[in-house]
Amino acid sequence: MLKVNDNFTKLPSSYLFSEIARRVDTFAASHSGEKIIRMGIGDVTRPLCSEAIREMEEAVRHEADAATFRGYGPEQGHLFLREKIVAYDYAARGIDILPDEVFVSDGAKSDTGNIGDIISANCKVAVTDPVYPVYVDTNVMAGRAGEFDSSTGKWSDIEYLSCNDSNSFIPSLPKNHPDIIYLCYPNNPTGTTLTRNQLKEWVDYARANGAVILFDSAYEAYISESDVPHSIYEIEGAKEVAIEFRSFSKTAGFTGVRCGYTVVPHDLKGIDSSGKIVEVNSLWNRRQTTKFNGASYISQRAAEALYSPEGQKQVKETIAYYMTNAAMLRDGLAQAGIECRGGINAPYIWLKTPGGLSSWDFFDIMLKKCHLVGTPGVGFGPSGEGYFRLTAFSSHEATLEAVRRIERLSEL
Is 109 a binding residue for ligand PLP by CB under 6 A? The answer is yes
Q: Which stretch binds ligand PLP (CB under 6 A): 55-63, 105-113, 158-166, 284-292?
A: 105-113
- 107 counts as binding ligand PLP under rule CB under 6 A: yes
Binding track over 193-232 against ligand PLP, x by CB under 6 A: -----------------------x-x--------------
Q: How far apart are CA 211 and CA 207, in angstroms?
A: 7
165 residue type, one letter: D
Three-state DSSP class for 260?
strand
Compute the least distance from the CB of residue 225 to ligand PLP, in Å: 19
Return the residue of 40, 130, 253, 260 that touches ligand PLP, per CB under 6 A: 260
Q: How far is the CB of 193 from ligand PLP (least distance, A)?
A: 13
Q: How many angstroms separate the CA atoms of 305 and 50, rounded?
A: 9
Report the distance separating Cα 71 and Cα 75, nearest Å: 12
By CB under 6 A, is residue 358 in contact with ligand PLP? no
Distances (CA, A) of 22 to 56, 345, 377: 38, 32, 17
Report helix, strand or coil for 276. Answer: coil
- Residue 45 found at the interface with ligand PLP (CB under 6 A): no
Residue among 118 and 218 whose Cβ is closer to ligand PLP: 218
Whose Cβ is closer to ligand PLP: residue 202's or residue 401's? 202
For ligand PLP, the closer of residues 184 and 351 by Cβ is: 184
User: Does 268 sit near ligand PLP (CB under 6 A)?
Assistant: no
Q: How far apart are CA 12 and CA 133, in angstroms?
A: 12
Segment contacting ligand PLP (CB under 6 A): 58-66, 79-87, 138-146, 247-255?
247-255
In Å, what is the CA distance from 36 to each residue of 4, 17, 198, 210, 407? 41, 16, 40, 49, 16
Of the candidates 225, 201, 213, 237, the one whose C-alpha atom is nearest the C-alpha of residue 112 is 213
Which residues from 158-197 bind ligand PLP, rule CB under 6 A? 184, 188
What angle do the packed helices 50-63 and 297-305 form, to 10 degrees?
Answer: 150
Least gap, CB of 412 to ligand PLP (angstroms): 29
Where does this chain bind ligand PLP (CB under 6 A)? 42, 107-109, 112, 132, 184, 188, 216, 218, 247, 249, 255, 260
